[in-house]
């Protein structure tokens, strides 16, 4: 079965090829790209399209690799022992299964999302090498090796905050989602707003891509901002003509707060607009 | 052919390993792509290249290797005969096929490859590709070379320029300059450098867990301290010629501030003199004597200057040379004092390295801080600077 995108997710050829390579050769797929280019969403959509259960692991700065395998809740056990709870005899009651354990024991092939791996400590990826390679790990408390019944498809996202170790990279396939071009963006918008008026979409995309060209922006608006903005335009019933103002550069687009989230960017943009208006 | 390609990538300084080559072979064996060169490009990029900063280099290397080639050459070794036949039937005329039968597929492919290799010009129109004279096994008028994309499905509307020729990822290449994105990578260099120097602290969770495991007997757990122990003094030039580099400096600064618990920063104009200041907006109001700075921070601090070091030689070498005020002592004397106080020093210069020799003041400053201690404000430069600082 091949991944080709879904009715709610637009995947370009390079992305589907990467996903299908990872599925076929059973390697983890590392995804990078600008914020809001659909990295996190990809795992959900792949799972849905290929009809596989999804296990999600959202990484934080304090996340440890071990937590993805299992955790031994020694404190509960101590408490139970002091309360004389008979459960205390069986240590397995205190072994909390992590995301990888759940995926390994799953009765069918599954998708595992390790989201924002770069947030964790730099040792985190290294601590997972063996697990990703062999798809197994040992639980010392139970004297048992947990081995994947089916190798899950592992999708890892990164926002580039930390460099990932080479040994880890060698085990992954890698794809960088580049910012969608106009045509792709149009398709993305269409899956979100199937009934959007063609006129409005065209004008809105013009404004959006122009805005991304404004030099010196701290944060260029991304897909998710575009979609939020379109929602607002629709809610406010803004007619396409308003966006058209032929020299779009000197008009400030309505509701631009949805596109520019950074105060400095808004100022910069307003100043530029003001200056070019004075010029003309 | 794949090994050749692989070695070519290596020769272009792409960090590809054998493990990845084997993965690529595995993928080809699994028929993940057929003969389409476009797909082969995407597949090999996915499997071999692990950093978008290297995409552009890969594009160039790929373009060089497959220059003038439309389909996978030498791919025949892995392609079953029937499959070629199928392709042939689809694309070749009766006469062609007769000829094919006579010569055999291998021979024909070989000829084809030779011909393709001879083709010097890129993006040449289809008709020029393979000879149209009757001598060519593929030589019929109106023949479209796309047809020989062995078994390759067409990838939709193809443009004259190949994907890898579009150099879309050029701005992600990290050897160009620091830029908005690259500063983040620079931050990682700083971070790596910041991780040295471990002390120990009480691991509370570990202690609780250990104690519980111990059946209530205290089990102290210690772990390496996480916050970093590196101390940095950052001296930033805010002289007029630095205006072009403000963004890079700002970002470097905020990156560094997030990284170092012990970071102190000071501003100066062109060269350091008897005072520096902490707040750039009030630089004429709140001056800080440089001597005070020298006396405040111990020798375990590392010293980093950021500046273009470009000014008139007087500003470095003469008393009274400063453009802003009357300096009793020359700039190089003050520089020397700073370097004496913190011998582990580096100077990051946003000017491209090949201009350095044309600016006398740069030479003068390097004479004071050490010739090998000025680094360009690029990723590579930062990396070298950090390495030299951690020695
Ligand atoms: N290819 C796409 N098809 C459909 N919707 C998309 C696509 N790309 C992005 N979107 C929209 O953008 C939103 C943001 O996507 P997502 O959260 O997956 O981005 P991300 O790359 O993980 O961002 P971040 O780096 O901030 O985590 C999605 O919820 C979706 O609405
Ligand atoms: Mg995300």
Per-domain boundaries in chain B: 1-173, 183-195+230-389, 200-228
d(CA B137, CA B100): 7
Has residue A100 got a pLDDT over 90? yes
Contact A169 B209 (CB under 8 A): no
Helix locations, B66-213, DSSP H: 81-91, 94-103, 105-118, 126-129, 179-194, 204-213
Least confident of A259-268, A269-278, B18-27, B90-99: B90-99
| Cα A148–chain centre separation | 24
For residues B366-374, give the mean pLDDT.
Answer: 93
Nearest CA in chain B to A218: B180
Contact A140, A6 (CB under 8 A): no
pLDDT digits (tens, 9 = 90+) for A213-251: 877 777 888 998 999 899 888 888 888 887 776 554 556
CB nearest B212 (choices: A14, A77, A166) = A77
Nearest to residue B61, comparing CAs of B48, B76, B75, B78? B48
Q: Using an 8 Å CB-CB cutoff, list chain A residues near B172.
A: 176
d(CA A104, CA A148): 4
**Sign of the C-alpha dihedral computed for residues B271, B276, B277 and B278 taken in this order:** positive
d(CA B309, CA B320): 18
* Spatial CB neighbours of A37, under 8 Å, sequence gap ≥ 6: A177, A178, A179, A180, A222, A223
The model scores a pTM over 0.95: no
Contact A129, A2 (CB under 8 A): no
CB pairs under 8 A between A and B: 81
* Spatial CB neighbours of B355, under 8 Å, sequence gap ≥ 6: none
Least confident of A220-229, B28-37, B135-144: B135-144
For residues A204-212, give the mean pLDDT.
Answer: 87
pLDDT band (50, 70, 90) for residue B243: confident
For residues A33-53, give the mean pLDDT.
Answer: 94
d(CA B348, CA A51): 53
Has residue A127 got a pLDDT over 50? yes
Contact B42 A74 (CB under 8 A): no
Q: Using an 8 Å CB-CB cutoff, list chain A residues near B26.
A: 25
Mutate to test the pocket of ligand 1, among A16, A29, A37 (most ligand atoms within 8 A of CB): A37
pLDDT band (50, 70, 90) for residue A131: very high
Contact B209 A75 (CB under 8 A): yes
Q: Top-level CATH class of B183-195+230-389?
A: alpha beta
d(CA B11, CA B15): 10
Has residue B232 got a pLDDT over 90? no
More confident site: B323 or B127? B323
**Minimal Cα–Cα distance from B261 to chain A, Å?**
17
Q: How far is CA B172 from CA A23, A34, B16, B149, B164, in A?
A: 27, 12, 19, 31, 14
Task: Please provide the size of chain A in residues.
Answer: 280
pLDDT of residue B227: 53
pLDDT digits (tens, 9 = 90+) for A60-82: 988 999 999 999 988 888 888 88
Tokens of B268: 């100066």
Has residue B2 got a pLDDT over 60? yes
Direct distance between the N- and C-terminal alpha carbons of chain A, in angstroms, rounded to an integer: 57
d(CA A32, CA A40): 10
More confident site: B160 or B57? B57
Judged by phi (left if over 0) then psi (alpha if -120 to 50, else beta), residue A181 lies in beta
Q: Using an 8 Å CB-CB cutoff, list chain B residues near A27.
A: 23
pLDDT digits (tens, 9 = 90+) for B306-321: 888 988 888 898 888 8
Tokens of B89: 């039937």
Average pLDDT of chain B is: 71
Q: Using an 8 Å CB-CB cutoff, list chain B residues near A170.
A: 17, 19-20, 50
pLDDT digits (tens, 9 = 90+) for A262-276: 777 787 777 777 666
Contact A163 B42 (CB under 8 A): no
Least confident of B70-84, B107-121, B189-203, B244-258: B70-84
For residues A147-166, give the mean pLDDT.
Answer: 89
Nearest to residue B199, comparing CAs of B241, B172, B230, B153? B230
For residues B211-219, give the mean pLDDT.
Answer: 79
**Minimal Cα–Cα distance from A161 to chain B, Å?**
7
Least confident of A28-32, A101-105, A162-166, B57-61: A162-166
pLDDT band (50, 70, 90) for residue B68: low
Helices B105-118 and B94-103 sit at what angle, rounded to 10 degrees?
110
pLDDT of residue B385: 87
Has residue B60 got a pLDDT over 60? yes
More confident site: A210 or A174? A174
d(CA A24, CA A1): 9
Q: Does B219 touch chain A (CB under 8 A)?
A: no
Nearest CA in chain B to A219: B180
For residues A122-132, give the mean pLDDT.
Answer: 89
pLDDT digits (tens, 9 = 90+) for B73-83: 444 444 444 44
pLDDT band (50, 70, 90) for residue B119: very low
pLDDT of residue B352: 86
Has residue B391 got a pLDDT over 90? no
For residues A132-136, give the mean pLDDT.
Answer: 92
Beta-bridge partners for B264? B233
pLDDT of residue B166: 66
pLDDT of residue B147: 33
Pocket residues: Cβ below 6 A from ligand 1: A 9-10, 33, 35-41, 157, 159, 188, 191, 223-224, 227
Contact B339, B345 (CB under 8 A): yes
Give the atom of ligand 1 at the shortest distance from the alpha carbon of A224. 12
Q: Does B262 touch chain A (CB under 8 A)?
A: no
CB nearest B42 (choices: A14, A77, A171) = A14
Tokens of A118: 């770069």
Q: Using an 8 Å CB-CB cutoff, list chain B residues near A161.
A: 184, 187-188
Give percent of chain B with pLDDT exceeding 70: 59
DSSP for chain A, written as a single string: -----BTTB---HHHHHHHHHHHHHT--EEEEESTTSSHHHHHHHHHHHTT--EEEEE--TT--HHHHHEEE-HHHHHHHHHHT-GGGG-GGGGEEE-HHHHHHH-SS--EEEEE-GGGS-TTHHHHTHHHHHHSEEEETTTTEEEE-SSPPEEEEEE-SSSPPPHHHHHHSEEEEEPPP-HHHHHHHHHHH-TT--HHHHHHHHHHHHHHHHSTT-SS---HHHHHHHHHHHHHTT--HHHHH-SSGGGSPPTTGGGT--SHHHHHHHHHHHHHHHHH-
More confident site: A83 or B256? A83
pLDDT band (50, 70, 90) for residue B142: very low
Q: Using an 8 Å CB-CB cutoff, list chain B residues near A174.
A: 46, 49-51
pLDDT of residue B312: 86
pLDDT band (50, 70, 90) for residue A98: very high
Nearest C-alpha to atom 7 of ligand 1 is from which residue? A38
pLDDT band (50, 70, 90) for residue A277: low
Has residue B122 got a pLDDT over 50? no
Contact A21 B27 (CB under 8 A): yes
Q: Does B42 touch chain A (CB under 8 A)?
A: yes
Token look-up 């983040």 returns B184
Mutate to test the pocket of ligand 1, among A223, A226, A229 (most ligand atoms within 8 A of CB): A223
Nearest to residue A165, comparing CAs of A205, A126, A197? A126
ipTM of the complex: 0.84
More confident site: B201 or A3? A3
Tokens of B85: 């036949």
Q: Which of B19, B25, B41, B50 to mutate: most A Cβ within 10 Å?
A: B50
pLDDT of residue B228: 56
Average pLDDT of chain A is: 88
Calculate ∠ Cα A148-A152-A157, nearest 5°: 130
pLDDT digits (tens, 9 = 90+) for B149-201: 333 333 333 333 566 676 666 655 544 445 444 555 555 555 544 444 444 56
């Amino acid at each position: 079965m091949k991944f080709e995108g879904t009715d709610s997710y637009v995947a370009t050829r390079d992305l589907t090829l990467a996903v299908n390579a990872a599925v076929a050769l059973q390697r983890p797929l590392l995804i990078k790209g600008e914020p809001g280019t659909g990295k996190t969403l990809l795992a959900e959509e792949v799972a849905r399209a290929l009809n596989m259960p999804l296990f999600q692991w959202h990484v934080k700065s304090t996340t440890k690799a071990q937590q993805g395998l299992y955790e031994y809740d020694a404190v509960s056990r101590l408490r139970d022992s002091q309360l004389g709870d008979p459960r205390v005899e069986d240590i397995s009651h205190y072994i909390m299964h992590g995301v990888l354990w759940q995926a390994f024991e799953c009765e069918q092939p599954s998708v595992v999302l390790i989201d924002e791996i770069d947030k964790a400590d730099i040792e985190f990826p290294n601590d997972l090498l063996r697990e990703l390679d062999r798809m197994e790990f040992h639980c010392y408390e139970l004297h048992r090796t947990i081995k994947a019944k089916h190798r899950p498809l592992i999708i890892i996202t990164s926002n580039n905050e930390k460099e990932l170790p080479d040994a880890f990279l060698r085990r992954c396939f890698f794809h960088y989602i580049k910012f969608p071009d106009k045509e792709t963006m149009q398709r993305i918008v269409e899956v979100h707003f199937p009934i959007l008026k063609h006129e409005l979409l065209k004008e809105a995309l013009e404004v959006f891509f122009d805005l991304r060209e404004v030099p010196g922006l701290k944060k260029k608006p991304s897909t998710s901002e575009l979609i939020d903005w379109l929602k607002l335009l629709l809610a406010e019933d803004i007619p396409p003509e308003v966006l058209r103002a032929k020299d779009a550069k000197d008009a400030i687009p309505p509701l631009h707060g949805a596109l520019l989230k950074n105060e400095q960017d808004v100022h910069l943009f307003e100043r530029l607009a003001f200056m070019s208006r004075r010029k003309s | 052919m794949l090994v050749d390609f692989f070695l070519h990538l290596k020769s272009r300084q792409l960090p590809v390993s054998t493990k990845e080559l084997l993965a690529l072979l595995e993928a080809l064996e699994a028929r993940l792509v057929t003969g389409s060169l476009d797909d082969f490009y995407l597949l090999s990029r996915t499997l071999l290249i692990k950093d978008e900063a290297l995409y552009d280099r890969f594009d160039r290397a790929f373009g060089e290797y497959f220059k003038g080639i439309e389909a996978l050459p030498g791919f025949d070794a892995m392609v079953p005969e029937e499959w070629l036949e199928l392709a042939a039937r689809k694309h070749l005329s009766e006469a062609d096929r007769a000829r094919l039968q006579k010569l055999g597929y291998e021979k024909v492919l070989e000829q084809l490859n030779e011909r393709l290799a001879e083709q010097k010009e890129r993006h040449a129109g289809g008709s020029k590709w393979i000879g149209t004279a009757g001598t060519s096994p593929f030589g019929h008028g109106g023949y479209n070379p796309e047809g020989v994309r062995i078994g390759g499905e067409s990838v939709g509307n193809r443009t004259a320029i190949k994907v890898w020729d579009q150099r879309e990822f050029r701005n992600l290449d990290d050897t160009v300059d620091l830029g908005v994105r690259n500063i983040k990578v620079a931050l990682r260099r700083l971070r790596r450098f910041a991780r040295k120097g471990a002390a120990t602290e009480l691991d509370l969770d570990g202690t609780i867990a250990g104690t519980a495991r111990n059946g209530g007997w205290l089990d102290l757990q210690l772990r390496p301290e996480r916050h970093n122990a590196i101390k940095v003094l950052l001296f930033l030039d805010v002289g007029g010629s630095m205006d072009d580099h403000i963004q890079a400096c700002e970002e470097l600064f905020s990156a560094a501030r997030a990284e170092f618990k012990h970071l102190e920063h000071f501003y100066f104009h062109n060269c350091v003199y008897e005072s520096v200041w902490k707040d750039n907006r009030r630089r004429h109001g709140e001056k800080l004597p440089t001597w005070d700075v020298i006396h405040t921070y111990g020798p375990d601090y590392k010293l980093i200057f950021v500046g273009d070091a470009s000014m008139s030689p007087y500003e470095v070498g003469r008393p009274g040379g400063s453009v802003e005020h009357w300096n009793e002592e020359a700039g190089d004397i003050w520089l020397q004092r700073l370097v004496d106080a913190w011998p582990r020093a580096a100077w990051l210069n946003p000017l491209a390295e090949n201009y350095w020799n044309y600016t006398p003041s740069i030479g003068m400053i390097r004479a004071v801080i050490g010739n090998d201690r000025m680094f360009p404000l690029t990723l590579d430069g930062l990396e070298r600077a950090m390495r030299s600082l951690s020695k």
